[in-house]
Amino acid sequence: MKRTAVLFLLPNLWIGCLALECTTVSGRLKQVDAGNGHVFGVCPKGEIFTLYGSSLIRLPGQLKHVSVGPAGVWGVNSTNNIHKLVKGDWVAVPGLMRQVDAGGKMFAAGVNMGSVVFCLGEEATTGYAGPGSRASWTQLPGKLRYYSCGPYSCWGVNAADEIYIMKGVTPTACGGSLDLEHISGSLAMIEVSTDGQVYGVNSLGDIYKREGVSPCNPAGTEWRHVQHSEKVKHLSYDLGHLWLINRENRILDCTE
């Protein structure tokens, strides 16, 4: 595997720079998601893969979007049907979504074809095992194109690339405050990590990180542009690794 070094500037705290060390992973993915120490992705043709060591291992089935986190492994296929990975098999979940997220603290969330946002509480999320299990989705206010959750907040972007945060989310109250708060900036997609870090990509393919995010200040303080030589269309962060998918579907595993 080929290693490259990309430099980015620190915020104006001192003069200097650090290197973003990136390893190219063999294979091609159009979407990647990392959480709880696992990495999953979907290739351009819809095949599903997970990273084992430094190799991508194919899983059965086909999806257009997959997500892994405290809520398990969830995905949606080309017809917007929702699935959950249960004991190595994909089982259908009632409802239709175009994007689903498993990063919430024991709850799942997602966005349907009409940009309506939903979440599924802890009991239904963790207990869902296939037909006969309950899956009562809670509709949330606002309309978003992409929605991602972490341990204490969820972030989303709408069709105009406007950014929003939902504060106060918990396993038993996945809707949190039920009040989407606008955050300055413009992003095409956004991801919240298992530990609450927030990264996003704008329409130009540039990477941004939200600084100052904490349980006491879930909205953080400002966006920092992460300098990178390639344009990116998708990313995910977990355990110190920033996973990038560039416009040619190449996979990069980056660390600071």
Residue pLDDT, tens place only, 162-185: 999 999 999 999 999 999 999 999
Q: How far apart are alpha carbons 135 and 151 in whole angstroms?
A: 21
Q: Residue 104 and residue 170: Cα distance in Å, rounded?
A: 8
58-110: per-residue pLDDT in tens?
999 999 999 999 999 999 999 999 999 999 999 999 999 999 999 999 999 99
Complete domains list, the chain, with CATH: 3-255 (2.130.10.30)
Q: Which amino acid is at 108?
A: A
Residues contacting residue 11 through CB under 8 Å, at least 6 positions apart: 211, 222, 224
Which residues are bridge partners to 238 per DSSP? 241
The amino acid at 141: P
| Alpha-helical runs (H) found in the chain | 122-127
Calpha distance 188→62 (Å, rounded): 24
Q: Give the confidence band of 54 by pLDDT, cuts at 50, 70, 90.
A: confident
Residue 85: closest CA among 239, 93, 110:
93
pLDDT top residue among 19 and 146 = 146
Q: According to DSSP H, which parts of 20-81 are helical?
A: none
Please compute Rg for the chain using Cα positions.
17
**Token digits of residue 140:** 């949330």
